[in-house]
Amino acid sequence: MKPAGLIRVSALVVATASNIAGAFAATPAKVLGSTALALAGVIAPLSPDLSSAEKKAVAMLFAANSDIPYKKPIVVTADRIVCRAGNVDITTRNCEVTFGKKVRTVNGSTANEIFATEALADVPSDGAAGSNFESLSKLSCTIDPNAIRRKDGSGAECTFQPGN
């Protein structure tokens, strides 16, 4: 085979691999059960869209108390979550959580909880120049206290777009 032919085949392989990777990145993800409750549980306290009663209900459910007075489904959303953990400066841990035009930045243990919960939900990580990143967008979690109360594994579901 001529060198030019090799270049064309290599370009085709690279283009195909990029298209396949892009297709996977564009596929929405879904998590259920305890992982969904954990994801909602670490984001709900930051949400400007939830009432204090909703935040309290999610916190109680996440703390293994399903006997709560709140009965309606709770929807926890975030437009974008980007977390960073340093692997050179190992003290660095931060997340930016975007709700519409509001951005909440958290550091330390709160950022670590979000980062770890994203990993639990199979959010892919990426690395660059001394840091590991995890990001997702279009998070929407529905928490149904009545279903959770049945203790059959149902009542929590989240969908999101992996990456930015």
Digit-coded pLDDT (tens) for 88-109: 999 999 999 999 999 999 999 9
Helices (H) and strands (E) in the chain, counts: 5, 7
Q: Is the pLDDT of residue 14 over 70?
A: no
Q: Does this model's pTM top 0.85?
A: no
Total domains in the chain come to 1
Cβ neighbours around 15 below 10 Å, total: 10
Residue 2 lies in a domain: no
Q: Which domain holds residue 126?
A: 28-162
The answer to whether the beta carbons of residues 114 and 42 sit under 8 Å apart is yes
Domain-embedded: residue 8 = no
Q: How far apart are CA 66 and CA 81, in angstroms?
A: 27
Which of 113-116's residues contact partners 24+ apart within 8 Å by CB, and which partners? 113/42, 114/42, 114/43, 114/81, 114/83, 115/83, 115/85
First to last CA, the chain: 41
| pLDDT band at residue 129 using 50, 70 and 90 as cut-offs | confident
Residue 4 in domain = no
Say how many residues make up the chain.
164
In a domain, 19, yes or no: no
For 39-91, what is each residue's pLDDT tens digit?
A: 999 999 999 999 999 999 999 999 998 888 899 999 999 999 999 999 899 99
